[in-house]
Amino acid sequence: MGRPPCCDKLGVKKGPWTPEEDITLVSYIQEHGPGNWRAVPTITGLMRCSKSCRLRWTNYLRPGIKRGDFTDQEEKLIIHLQALLGNRWAAIASYLPERTDNDIKNYWNTHLKKKLKRTQTGVTIDDTPTSRSQQPSKGQWERRLQTDINTAKRALYEAIAIDIPNSPPSILPYPQLPPPSTTYASSTENIARLLEGWMGGSGKQDGASTSSSEARTEPEPEPSETSMLQEGPAGPLSLLEWLFDESECEGLLDMKLDTGDELF
DNA sequence: AATGAGGCCAACCGCCTCGTC
DNA sequence: CGACGAGGCGGTTGGCCTCAT
């Protein structure tokens, strides 16, 4: 509070990123790795604030990002996780490693919210703990959390059981992030694709839009959502294991109790 | 063809959390 | 232990695009 924003310096550029800026940022990250964002503008000479650099990387340039339409399974997963976690997009995004929290948030706000409102007659999406301003009062928070967890567990179980009939949900591995060893190579691919889009495209907009539309038609085979969930070494914790772990719920409740909130 | 409305999404803003001193 | 700063997160906005009229 009272702390000046990081981006109020004179000469800090705002607005859409140019291809040159993207390349500069990716080059820096290839060399130094993501992190120490404060140093990025200084070292690279980018006239961007550190936050802007980080955001550009995490939401757009980071390798392994899947763009374009969300699959049915992704949609279901988002809906269930939103019911469970509320608008904690970063947490939700951790279960969809190929999607960014910004993407999920946008997709939720522009598509899923409306879709759910249409389909859920009588029960609106506003009944879930969403924004801070919409958060129920403290006691209600506890009750809704428990209700949401139970509902989400059941619904998610059903959703996954339908989509992956041969895979017992209990053995679903936690979706894996791309291995670090491929990170920078992949980001080079990202940039190459971006440049293709910029050079071949009409140049009507910034790189973001051009490449995102390109990504939609990209012929490169994408792993299906089921394979995304099934393949690779099992992660530290399966989604369902986490969901069905009662101690986790108790932990959450304990955390709330620690803050002095009344339970009921 | 012009234009207004609504949709979409990248990027920004401001608050919060956590680590460091 | 408190102050400070960096990074993270969620909400919001601005501008482009598409579609209907």
- Taking only the tens place, the pLDDT of each residue in A146-174 is 444 455 555 555 555 545 444 433 333 33
Query: Nearest nucleotide (C1') to the CA of residue A207?
Result: B10
Read off the DSSP letter of residue A69: P
Distance A51 CA to C1 C1' (A): 29
Q: Is the pLDDT of residue A142 over 50?
A: no
Residues 37-56 of A with CB under 7 A from strand B: 48, 51-52, 55-56
> Which H or E run includes A76?
helix A72-85
> Is A240 in contact with A174 (CB distance < 8 Å)?
no
Query: Nearest nucleotide (C1') to the CA of residue A90?
Result: C9
pLDDT band at A191 (very low <50, low <70, confident <90, very high): low
Q: What is the residue-wise DSSP string for A2-23?
A: -PPPTT-STT---SSPPHHHHH
- Report if CB A118 to strand B is under 7 Å: no
- Nearest residue (CA) to C1' of B6: A110
Pairwise CA distance, residues A259 & A261, whole Å: 6
Residue among A16, A25, A18, A26 nearest A46 (CA): A25
Pick the more confident residue, A189 or A88: A88
Q: Is the pLDDT of residue A260 over 60?
A: no
- Report if CB A1 to strand B is under 7 Å: yes
- Report if CB A118 to strand C is under 7 Å: no
- Report if CB A103 to strand B is under 7 Å: yes
- The separation between CA A234 and the C-alpha centre of its own chain, rounded to angstroms, equals 20
Pick the more confident residue, A141 or A91: A91
- The separation between CA A245 and the C-alpha centre of its own chain, rounded to angstroms, equals 23
Pick the more confident residue, A96 or A198: A96
- Nearest residue (CA) to C1' of C14: A15
- Report if CB A110 to strand B is under 7 Å: yes
The pLDDT of residue A44 = 87
Q: Is the pLDDT of residue A175 over 50?
A: no
- pTM over 0.85? The answer is no
The pLDDT of residue A194 = 53
First to last CA, chain A: 32
Q: Is the pLDDT of residue A182 over 80?
A: no
Pairwise CA distance, residues A24 & A40, whole Å: 10
Pairwise CA distance, residues A236 & A256, whole Å: 25
Pairwise CA distance, residues A184 & A186, whole Å: 5
Q: Is the pLDDT of residue A206 over 80?
A: no
Residues 51-110 of A with CB under 7 A from strand C: 51, 54-55, 87-91, 101-102, 105-106, 109
The pLDDT of residue A14 = 84
Pairwise CA distance, residues A55 & A208, whole Å: 13
Looking up tokens 């009272």 gives A2
Pairwise CA distance, residues A238 & A172, whole Å: 6
- CA A243-A233-A96 angle, to 5 degrees, is 50
Pairwise CA distance, residues A249 & A257, whole Å: 12
Tens of pLDDT, residues A26-60: 888 888 888 788 888 888 888 888 888 988 888 88
Pick the more confident residue, A221 or A164: A164
Pick the more confident residue, A197 or A140: A197
Tens of pLDDT, residues A65-119: 888 788 888 888 898 888 888 888 888 888 888 898 898 998 888 888 877 777 7
Looking up tokens 């792993």 gives A223
Helix segments in A128-262, DSSP class H: 138-163, 183-200, 207-217, 225-230, 239-243, 246-258
Lookup: tokens for A138: 């403290």
Pairwise CA distance, residues A74 & A68, whole Å: 12
Distance A251 CA to B6 C1' (A): 44
